[in-house]
Structure 1
């Protein structure tokens, strides 16, 4: 039987997010930190211009505050906090430059990648120095009986997994409530698994659940605030870190299938466009825009992707 203390971090982070968002949103309005919409994006998104962005600051602040309090007696939480906050800070820089310069492009690609590599290096070093056993990862659909000891390959594996997950989360943040809802379901998967395994990272999963539930109140269609790169990059960092701390980074392909689909759709679209000198496979990428332009309402796309994530998380449990 679960102790009520397990749910306390979720409750506290939910309450803090619900309190802070109504305070922070008017400040963003006053500072004219409104969303820029790409000219080549769907026409239906033009109405989103001016909607406050950088709401991820609230998410990041709540997650960090509650996380640090919980981590005072549970050091396993620090790698999760590090990767979440580290990527959230990169997203903050990106968002701030966009808003300060009044343009749709923030950090240059090489700047963003360079910062992401630095954060990932610190995360990999922290794991190898303090939790070397995490280099042994569980292989899906083996009942936990097959474990890969990556050894020297662990570091490059961390880079591919973390950067792929973070950028997948970033591409997923394109519709009202989409990244929030998808990641909320993934966080619930982590919470159930970590509680069952008796892992302390259940606290960070619970904190993220509470934070996302609170933020979803203001981020669901029609959104009153967007999370921006501050939020989406932080979410990707959280998912990657939580998976590594539970020895299940290979499961990200399953439970975060939407992240994978989003980033693959962009890669396929760009590659095909270049190879065929202008032809496209999708009406628009990332793939959620393809569904929009195919006649699906924005809310239906979000619901559909959420249902897919629930199904994939069930498959994730079967794969354990």
Structure 2
């Protein structure tokens, strides 16, 4: 089993890299005029955030990549599983970067079209699944806390594509308030890091902890009031990487619990759209759900702190179901 000291070293390295890179990147992004343009249909209180540097996800990706590779190379080996996770992080990060680039540089506020984004995400997901297939990855899915599993055969890879795309978009939808995704993703990756460590998968555990260190370092500058946003570059990368970790640890269904905040946020959007299209009425004041509470009079910090707390409960429940039940 991987020593706790190695994980702490990974966490610290990724954190320090992010804290050192951010003060350099923020003024650089400002000079390049890579500022966020706030959409008119969003909460009016967010208009003051217009111009805040975007694409901070590049810092998270760089710190997580360097942190995990340097530690893995020094104490273990850069395994195929780690390379696959890094590919997911970079692949989904590239999709997000293209979206952000179109928004902030080409000044097209909606970024990639929905078809373009979906096509790119499918391409990255298929590539990840090819990697799983080459690694002879098991094609069963286990029901948490039961020991019951079902082997889906080749269909498993279609399910994996759905998990990768769904999770990346769910994390992306959650990215709407200062520090919200940074905090909730840190909690989710921490839980999976614990479970990977428990399973004896040092490479996956190191990757998870490197992500945690990177997003915590980013949170120093992204907490309210944010000096930089991660953008789709960061949120899509984190979502894709989280799904990749769930697949490699064979905890696909547990992802629904550990990533409960992301699931709830996505469901709020689905419910809102279905309700409006079928009845002409909205269930929430605005979706995703964090905007509903914001428009209900909650301060931004209160919403974020509450969602962090929910994320902790979901993570603890997930660990409990896997380790103790």
What TM-score do you get using the length of structure 1 for normalisation? Answer: 0.95
CA distance in 2, matches of 1:181, 1:189: 13
User: Which residue of structure 1 lines up, in the alignment, with residue 145 of structure 2?
Assistant: 141
Q: Give 1:179's match in structure 2, choosing from 178, 181, 188.
A: 181
Q: Does 1:106 align with 2:99?
A: no
RMSD, aligned CA: 1.4
Residues 7, 74 of structure 1: alpha-carbon distance in 2 compared, 3 angstrom cutoff: farther
Once the two structures are overlaid, the 10-residue window that deviates more, 155-164 or 109-118, is: 155-164
User: Which residue of structure 1 lines up, in the alignment, with residue 222 of structure 2?
Assistant: 219
User: Which residue of structure 2 lines up, in the alignment, with residue 74 of structure 1?
Assistant: 79
- The gaps in structure 1 that reach 5 residues or longer are none
Helix, strand or coil for the counterpart of 1:249? coil
Deviations 1:180-230 (A, max 9, x none): 000000111011111121112001011101101110000000000000000
CA distance in 2, matches of 1:141, 1:313: 15
Q: Give 1:233's match in structure 2, choosing from 222, 231, 236.
A: 236
User: Which residue of structure 2 lines up, in the alignment, with residue 256 of structure 1?
Assistant: 259
User: Which residue of structure 1 lines up, in the alignment, with residue 38 of structure 2?
Assistant: 37
TM-aligned CA deviation for residue 100 of structure 1: 1.3
User: Which residue of structure 1 lines up, in the alignment, with residue 321 of structure 2?
Assistant: 319
User: Which residue of structure 2 lines up, in the alignment, with residue 120 of structure 1?
Assistant: 125
CA contact (8 A) 1:141 1:318 kept: no
What TM-score do you get using the length of structure 2 for normalisation? Answer: 0.94
* 1:259-298 paired onto structure 2 within 5 Å: 259-277=262-280, 279-298=281-300
Helix, strand or coil for the counterpart of 2:80? coil
TM-aligned CA deviation for residue 141 of structure 1: 2.1
Helix, strand or coil for the counterpart of 1:38? coil
TM-aligned CA deviation for residue 7 of structure 1: 2.0
CA contact (8 A) 2:10 2:213 kept: yes
TM-aligned CA deviation for residue 138 of structure 1: 2.5
CA distance in 2, matches of 1:293, 1:26: 32
Q: Does 1:89 align with 2:94?
A: yes
Helix, strand or coil for the counterpart of 1:229? helix
CA contact (8 A) 2:102 2:109 kept: no
TM-aligned CA deviation for residue 6 of structure 1: 2.6
Q: Give 1:188's match in structure 2, choosing from 187, 190, 199.
A: 190
TM-aligned CA deviation for residue 162 of structure 1: 1.1
* 1:195-206 paired onto structure 2 within 5 Å: 195-200=197-202, 201-206=204-209
User: Which residue of structure 2 lines up, in the alignment, with residue 208 of structure 1?
Assistant: 211
Q: Does 1:47 align with 2:54?
A: no
Helix, strand or coil for the counterpart of 1:151? coil
User: Which residue of structure 2 lines up, in the alignment, with residue 64 of structure 1?
Assistant: 65
TM-aligned CA deviation for residue 66 of structure 1: 2.9
Deviations 1:13-70 (A, max 9, x none): 1111100000000001111111111101101101100111111111112222333443
Helix, strand or coil for the counterpart of 1:137? strand
TM-aligned CA deviation for residue 3 of structure 1: 4.0
